[in-house]
Amino acid sequence: MDLQDFEGQDMYFNSALPPKVAELIEQAAALYGDGDAEKPLLRAFFLAPQHLVVHVALYRFYYYQHRYSDALFIAAKAMEVTGRELNMPQDWRELERGHLGEAALKSMGMLRFYLLALKGAGYLNLRLGNIDAAIEILSKLVLLDEKNRLGADMLLAIAKDRVIDNIAEQSDNVVRFYKG
């Protein structure tokens, strides 16, 4: 299965927003420069907690504010909503290629959204210093995406390099301790 093959399918942003929710997202965009965008985004999330446009808006807000833990929470919510729609396992660790094939029959665009949210979770864990979690997530993506269409292998290599760097730093500290 080629994860780039999704021509002509609806994307998450093609789904109509309720007018009040659209208004709140526009309001948040206007307030972003002032730092007051979070309240309308949270109201939009409260009014449309299953709408992926709201998830993406809130995710981007938290990401660009460097609030990675909050962005990670929203990525998990987006995967929960999308996963339920695609009949994916609740726990991404249980994902197998067979699940992807079944999900692709429903919507390749939504499947890509799910997998990109998972990749985002891996990246955010890397940024937060949760290297083991990042490696676990990114390893799963590399296993599932045999053609590397999502580019998770590069992030996985970075995460593994961080582990090596941490080991080298700890070794240097031990040597310095014993040399006194």
CA 134/CA 140 separation, integer angstroms: 10
**Residue 166 Cα distances to 23, 29, 88, 131, 163, angstroms:** 47, 40, 35, 10, 5
What is the structure's pLDDT at 3? 52
Q: Where are the alpha helices (DSSP H) in the chain?
A: 19-31, 38-47, 52-64, 68-86, 97-106, 108-127, 131-144, 152-179
Residue 145 lies in a domain: yes
> Does 138 fall in a domain?
yes
Residue-level pLDDT at 72: 98
Domain-embedded: residue 7 = no
Beta carbons within 8 Å of 124's beta carbon, 6+ residues apart: 63, 68, 71, 72, 75
Predicted pLDDT of residue 130: 95
Q: Structure pTM?
A: 0.83
Q: Give residue 13's pLDDT.
A: 56
| Residue that the structure tokens 């990114």 belong to | 138
Give me the domain span that covers residue 43. 12-179
Distance CA 51, CA 22 (A): 11
In a domain, 59, yes or no: yes
Q: How many domains does the chain have?
A: 1
Q: What is the CATH number of the domain that holds 119?
A: 1.25.40.10
- 8-state DSSP, 16: P
Q: Residue 58: what residue type?
A: L
State pLDDT tens for residues 48-97: 999 999 999 999 999 999 999 999 999 999 999 999 999 999 999 999 99
Output the six-digit token pair for 167: 């080991």
pLDDT along the chain (180 residues), means of 10: 52 75 95 90 96 95 96 97 96 96 93 96 96 96 93 93 73 60
Residue 164, pLDDT score? 77
